[in-house]
Amino acid sequence: MGCFHYPVLRQPCKGATVHVHIFGTKKDVLDETMMNLSRITSPTLIIWGRQDAILALKQAYYAKEKISNSKLHIIEQCGHMPNF
């Protein structure tokens, strides 16, 4: 079994930096990330699960607004990890 960076699902990898806890993303990590979104200049596809319980859907719209040349795709009936 591979290691996981989300302790709400499995134990984190040894030495991994954990940015998420059971109630959501740590505020200082999220704030820094959100403040730097406008620095992204590459074409960006933002994929978000509509039922994400860790990062609210409004954050997807905020990211779309701040990242120039971005597209937002929301997956219905999907939570935090649409890649699974």
Residue 49's Cβ-count burial label (10 Å; 0-12, 13-18, 19+) is buried
Instruction: Report how far apart the first and last C-alpha atoms of the chain are (Å, whole number).
Output: 15
The whole-angstrom separation of Cα 80 and Cα 50 is 8
Confidence of residue 6 (pLDDT cuts 50, 70, 90): very low
Report DSSP state, residue 21. E
Q: Which two tokens stand for residue 36?
A: 């730097």
Q: What is the pLDDT of residue 29?
A: 67
pLDDT at 26: 61
pLDDT, tens only, 31-68: 788 888 999 999 999 999 999 988 889 989 999 999 99
Q: Which residue has the tokens 């596809």?
A: 45
Query: What is residue 66's predicted lDDT score, i.e. its pLDDT?
Result: 95
